Amino acid sequence: MKGSEITEGVYAVGGPGLSSPEDAYVYLVNAGSEIVLIDVGVGLSIDRIEKNIKSLGLEPAMIWHVIATHCHIDHAGGLAYLVERYGTKVVAHQRDQEALEGQADERTAASMYGVKYRPVKVNIVLKGELEKLSIGDKEFFCLHTPGHTPGSISVYLDTSDGRVLFGQDIHGPFSKSWGSDLGQWRMSMEKLLALNADALCEGHAGIYKGKEKVRNYIESYLKRHSQID
């Protein structure tokens, strides 16, 4: 299956129906001189993701940066392949750096998938509440949204069609072994609502277009988890 366009320059190139069913959705942003991926899946079907990228008239060798939204293997397992093959730089938050670099394997959730996580170096370490990265001809805003994991981030950019939010794993799940914190997660969801995004690209639920649909999706999970501590 070919990559699926979300808005101009933004595509889904991995995930259910596009690559391995174990993969979280993998999103591509065409930044002109290079490709930026938001997450990269488990790593079992990188070849299919590469084919989807080529179907857009782009070359996988243009993947110079991957922004890892958090350390779970269904989002980050393919990082080592891209680093080794293309010299891709990894962007992630400091609070998930330890897991991504192989020092806290239980936090990658690799055991759930029966796959061994291959650690990578985090080249650009995010430390603040909100950091802006200028990559190619795009500006990416990386918002620290802990809760699912301590270093979870949500990424957004403003396009000619409005604000696109990559809010991976808004739905959870949560586990003490990953360092999940529902109180922090609820505060993070309020941050996402305040962004007033025009489109949401979620890690497993897919794409929601329109401010009302985005808001309703986030609020539905806030309501669902309101009584859980």
Is 199 part of any domain? yes
The whole-model pTM stands at 0.96
Is 177 part of any domain? yes
The mean predicted confidence, pLDDT, of the chain is 95
Which residues partner with 42 through β-bridges?
none
Is 35 part of any domain? yes
Is 229 part of any domain? no
Instruction: Give the sheet arrangement for strand 10-14, strand by strand.
Output: 4-7, 10-14, 26-30, 35-38, 63-67, 89-93, 124-126
pLDDT of residue 168: 84
Q: What angle do CA 144, 7, 142 make, to 5 degrees?
A: 10
Q: Are 82 and 39 in contact (CB under 8 A)?
A: no
Instruction: Specify the 3-state DSSP secondary structure of 213.
Output: helix
Is 73 part of any domain? yes
Query: 17 pLDDT band (50/70/90 cuts)?
Result: very high
pLDDT of residue 227: 65
pLDDT of residue 66: 98
CB atoms within 10 A of CB 130: 12
Is 195 part of any domain? yes
CATH of the domain at 33: 3.60.15.10
Give me the number of domains the chain comprises: 1
Convert the pLDDT of each residue in 72-90 to its tens digit: 999 999 999 999 999 999 9
pLDDT of residue 226: 79
Query: 1 pLDDT band (50/70/90 cuts)?
Result: very low
CB atoms within 10 A of CB 93: 28
CB atoms within 10 A of CB 63: 23
Domain that includes residue 40, residue range: 4-224
Is 145 part of any domain? yes
Query: 2 pLDDT band (50/70/90 cuts)?
Result: low
Provide the percentage of residues in the chain whose pLDDT is more than 90: 91
Convert the pLDDT of each residue in 41-73 to its tens digit: 999 999 999 999 999 999 999 999 999 999 999
pLDDT of residue 208: 96
pLDDT of residue 225: 86
User: Alpha helix locations (H) across 61-181?
Assistant: 73-76, 79-86, 94-100
Is 59 part of any domain? yes
Instruction: Specify the 3-state DSSP secondary structure of 189.
Output: helix
Q: Is the pLDDT of residue 131 over 90?
A: yes
